[in-house]
Amino acid sequence: MTLRDTTHRTRFSLLIALAVLLTIPALTGGDSFARPRSLATSEILSSPTDLAMVPVLPPAVCGVQATDVPEDGGGIISVTWEVPEDAPGTEFITGFEIFRYAPGETLALIGDVPPADREFEDGSAEDGTTYQYVVRSVSRSGFTDSEPSGPAVASAQWFARGRLPVLLVTLFFCIAVLFFVHRAKGGAELFIRKIPGLEAVDDAVGRATEMGRPVLFVPGIETVSEVGTLAALTILGHVAKRVATHGTRLLVPVADPIVMTTAQEIVRAAYAETGQLDAYDPGSVAYLTYDQFGYTAGVDGIMVRERPEAVFLLGTFYAESLILAETGHAIGAIQIAGTKETSQLPFFVAACDYTLIGEELFAASSYLSREPVMLGSLKGQDLTKMVIIYVIVLGFVVGSVGALVFPDGSSFFSRAFDALYSWFG
């Protein structure tokens, strides 16, 4: 081999080595000859796995305050704090941990909250014990504790000023009821507007007597614990007295065994009070079934077979209301209905002759019995509701006029209402 060939081979090997070195950066996606550079914080955070490597600790919260929760039963301290929004690391906070310590105790973790919260209620505080609190800001890089709060002591309050309006309304209601009860017992005639549905009770029973047909009383499908059922049973006593006096048959199908027992005693007492106990039939009050539509089918069957002249649908009704009312309308009976379920009232209004709307069902016992205590209670309720409505209307009118005359809200009335509102809590 000549020296010239050796030189050519050496040059060729150098060219191949140079070509390989120039190809490596392209294959690795970077410049192999560039100087190493430090990554920026934003580049580090671009990978979730590198978050824990961020050397920025969360900022300490400031303004930590601990105060007793006002107007409560005691045992609760409210802890509040603020977070400096412009401090570095604020955006990395993952939550807050609340620590508490008392004299003679060590710092103890009592709870944690999400990063958006700025308040925590310590419900495990003991009344009369002084506590201080520390709020810890937590991130994936670490944590930072705040300065301790001032001392706080939980205590119970005997009077909640925020409920003062309720107390005043309750006192006014009690005084009004006692006043009207005293007047009713003294023989004064208390005015109660006429309720057409209740005024028609005697006419319906009288018509059934003339036609020689029975009276059907349906007290709803709920148990005796329902206020609507109780109101219906009260009206049943009055209807039973009229039926016993006229010598008409009474049919009372029920959907609850306890309601059946109660209704039997009410009807029996009504017959005894009118001196017609011998005419009382225990089978007039019968239990059908607790199933909603099974009971509805049973009552409809009684209507079709017995064809009562007067039908009373009083109590708690749901989807069966229109079925019962339509059957009663089909047989040509006089129907008097009432329920506390406002969604069923349109069906009764459409298919029945008389409908007790709203509180008329509950006022029926007072209206029919004319008992002094019940009348006084009814009048006291009406007066209290009337006063509340007048106060609401007066506040609306005064506030609206004040806002129109004094747009800046500096009127005497505006200041007076603001003062009353702040005083009431």
The dihedrals phi and psi of 269, each to the nearest 5 degrees, come to -65, -35
Question: How do residues 78-96 score in pLDDT, each as one tens digit?
Answer: 999 999 888 888 888 999 9
Final residue of a domain: which of 123, 153, 183?
153
The pLDDT of residue 1:
47
**3-state SS assignment for residue 189:** coil
- Whether the Cβ atoms of residue 68 and residue 84 lie closer than 8 Å to each other: no
pLDDT bracket for residue 415 (50, 70, 90): low
- Whether the Cβ atoms of residue 65 and residue 79 lie closer than 8 Å to each other: yes
**3-state SS assignment for residue 144:** strand
pLDDT bracket for residue 27 (50, 70, 90): very low
Tell whether 165 is covered by a domain.
Answer: no
The pLDDT of residue 413:
59
The pLDDT of residue 120:
95
For residues 214 and 341, membership in a common domain is answered with yes
Tell whether 67 is covered by a domain.
Answer: yes
Chain mean pLDDT for the chain:
82
Tell whether 139 is covered by a domain.
Answer: yes
For residues 240 and 339, membership in a common domain is answered with yes
Average pLDDT over residues 348-361: 88
For residues 212 and 146, membership in a common domain is answered with no
For residues 124 and 255, membership in a common domain is answered with no
- The CATH number of whichever domain residue 131 belongs to comes to 2.60.40.10
For residues 131 and 252, membership in a common domain is answered with no
For residues 146 and 250, membership in a common domain is answered with no
- Whole-number Å distance between alpha carbons of 329 and 323: 10
Tell whether 274 is covered by a domain.
Answer: yes
The pLDDT of residue 103:
83
- Whole-number Å distance between alpha carbons of 59 and 238: 76
The pLDDT of residue 424:
54
Query: Is residue 232 scored above 60 in pLDDT?
Result: yes
Supply the DSSP string of 249-305, one letter for each residue: -EEEEESSHHHHHHHHHHHHHHHHHTT-GGG--GGGEEE--SSHHHHHHHHHHHHHH
- In this structure, are strands 334-339 and 310-316 parallel, antiparallel, or unpaired? parallel
Q: In what order do the strands lie in the sheet with 62-68?
A: 62-68, 77-82, 119-122
Average pLDDT over residues 221-243: 90
- Whole-number Å distance between alpha carbons of 335 and 398: 46
Tell whether 39 is covered by a domain.
Answer: no
The two three-digit tokens of residue 425, written as one number:
């809590």
For residues 149 and 214, membership in a common domain is answered with no
Residue type at position 119: E
The pLDDT of residue 106:
87
Query: Is residue 14 scored above 60 in pLDDT?
Result: no
The pLDDT of residue 158:
82
Q: How many CA atoms lie within 13 A of 169 on its CB side?
A: 14
**Range in 100-104, 182-186, 409-413 the model is least confident about:** 409-413
For residues 346 and 214, membership in a common domain is answered with yes
The rounded radius of gyration (Å) of the Cα atoms in the chain is 41
The pLDDT of residue 33:
33
Tell whether 385 is covered by a domain.
Answer: no
pLDDT bracket for residue 16 (50, 70, 90): low
Tell whether 145 is covered by a domain.
Answer: yes
For residues 211 and 343, membership in a common domain is answered with yes
- Whole-number Å distance between alpha carbons of 27 and 36: 18
Query: Is residue 49 scored above 80 in pLDDT?
Result: no
Residue with more model confidence, 34 or 244:
244
Supply the DSSP string of 145-172, one letter for each residue: EPPPPPPEEB---S--GGGHHHHHHHHH
Question: How do residues 252-281 score in pLDDT, each as one tens digit?
Answer: 999 999 999 999 999 999 999 988 888 898
Q: How many domains does the chain have?
A: 2
The pLDDT of residue 201:
86
To which H or E segment does residue 173 belong? helix 164-185
Residue with more model confidence, 311 or 369:
311
Query: Is residue 45 scored above 60 in pLDDT?
Result: no
For residues 146 and 219, membership in a common domain is answered with no
The contacts of residue 182 (CB under 8 Å, 6+ apart) are 376
Query: Is residue 40 scored above 90 in pLDDT?
Result: no
Tell the residue number behind the tokens 């009127």, with chain if given.
411
To which H or E segment does residue 54 belong? none
Percent of the chain exceeding pLDDT 90 equals: 43
Final residue of a domain: which of 96, 129, 153?
153
For residues 345 and 206, membership in a common domain is answered with yes
- The CATH number of whichever domain residue 244 belongs to comes to 3.40.50
Tell whether 20 is covered by a domain.
Answer: no
DSSP category for residue 37: -
Question: How do residues 372-406 score in pLDDT, each as one tens digit?
Answer: 888 888 888 889 989 999 988 887 887 777 667 66
Query: Is residue 50 scored above 50 in pLDDT?
Result: no
Residue with more model confidence, 368 or 302:
302
Final residue of a domain: which of 153, 171, 188?
153
**Closest CA relative to residue 220, chosen from 272, 172, 288, 157:** 288
Question: How do residues 185-221 score in pLDDT, each as one tens digit?
Answer: 888 888 878 888 888 888 899 899 999 999 999 999 9
Expressed as residue numbers, the domain containing 105 is: 62-153
For residues 149 and 208, membership in a common domain is answered with no
Query: Is residue 339 scored above 70 in pLDDT?
Result: yes
The pLDDT of residue 52:
45
